[in-house]
Amino acid sequence: MTETFYIASAFAVLAALLAVTRSNPLHAVLYLVLSLFALAIDFLVLGAPFVAALEIIVYAGAIVVVIMFVIMMVAGAAASREQERSWMPPRAWIVPALLAGALALLTLGSLAGAGGQAIAAPTIGPREVGAVLFTTYLIGVELASVLLLAGLVGAYYLGSRD
Amino acid sequence: MATIPTAHVLMVAGALVCIGAFGVLLRRNLLFMLLSLEVMLNGAALAFVGAGARWQQPDGQIFVIFIMAMAAAEVAVGLALILLIFRRSATLDADRLDVLRG
């Protein structure tokens, strides 16, 4: 199981790197889906089967599909491969790579020394998650529903007028 | 039963967040910037799940559920805005969208 985590993590990181650098938008989204699936395997290994299922159903199944629809709606005009490639000349990579590299160096460097305690993950199933979610975090659930309603109304308002 | 050091989980999460930040900085197309934000959110989600597994509490998973709700709302409004911008100015170039009343 431990090897599974490292293999899936390597897949998740590589696929994420490909997703943010591809010039074809649909390829980028498919790499993002691959990254999400690898991350779902990570969640499963870490003893979170409920979140692993949600990651595939909600993230890969709903959110990414919506992004894909919008890419197809604006495809050709705004998201062509040639345009994307012309927007990413080699010199445009330098500053983002330096900044993100410095950030990665700081993050990973500070964690490299710390071994940390090992996780021996027992499964925390949907029953435990649901019990705490609807007692301790009930106010959070209500706030999330208000947020989703605001998102729905906002998307409807922005999409309906010309 | 898996035994994984907490630091390794956090390293993967940190790498994902850095990759997402790299994408946001590198891209000029608004769609790809939104895509990179999703990568960053997933890094944060992995850190939450790792911490929840470390202390063997369901709280980490609950916060991932909140992150997903937030991401869904963000993507809905973000994509509606992107479509509106595209209808008005026929471009998704973040460098050219610097006028409020286009």
Could you report the predicted ipTM of this complex, rounded to two decimals? Answer: 0.90
Cβ burial, residue A127 (10 Å; 0-12/13-18/19+): exposed
Search chain A and give the residue with CA nearest B72. Answer: A63
Sign of the alpha-carbon dihedral angle for B35, B39, A16, A1: negative
Most confident of A80-84, A121-125, B4-8, B76-80: B76-80
pLDDT in tens, A19-58: 999 888 888 999 999 999 999 999 999 989 999 999 999 9
Interface list for B 15-74 with A (CB within 8 A): 15-23, 25-29, 31-32, 34-36, 38-39, 42, 45-46, 49-50, 52-54, 56-62, 64-66, 68-74
Say what the pLDDT of residue A36 is: 95
CA distance B100 to chain A (A): 15
CA distance A43 to chain B (A): 7
pLDDT in tens, B36-84: 999 999 999 999 999 998 888 899 999 999 999 999 999 999 999 888 8
- CB-CB under 8 Å, A96 with B75: no
A139 touches chain B (CB under 8 A): no
Rounded to whole angstroms, how far apart are CA atoms B49 and B40? 15
**B24 pLDDT tier (thresholds 50, 70, 90):** very high
B101 versus A129: the higher-pLDDT residue is A129
The DSSP line for chain A is -HHHHHHHHHHHHHHHHHHHH-SSHHHHHHHHHHHHHHHHHHHHHTT-HHHHHHIIIIIIIIIHHHHHHHHHHHTTTTS-HHHHHHHS-GGGGHHHHHHHHHHHHHHHHHHHH---PEEE-----HHHHHHHHTTTTHHHHHHHHHHHHHHHHHHHHHHH--
Write the residue in A16, A66, A111 that is nearest to B10 by C-beta: A111
Search chain A and give the residue with CA nearest B92. Answer: A78
Interface list for A 61-100 with B (CB within 8 A): 62-64, 66-67, 70-71, 73-74, 77-79, 84, 87-88, 92-93, 95-97, 99-100
Say what the pLDDT of residue B94 is: 77
Write the residue in A4, A12, A96 that is nearest to B12 by C-beta: A12
Rounded to whole angstroms, how far apart are CA atoms A9 and B99? 41
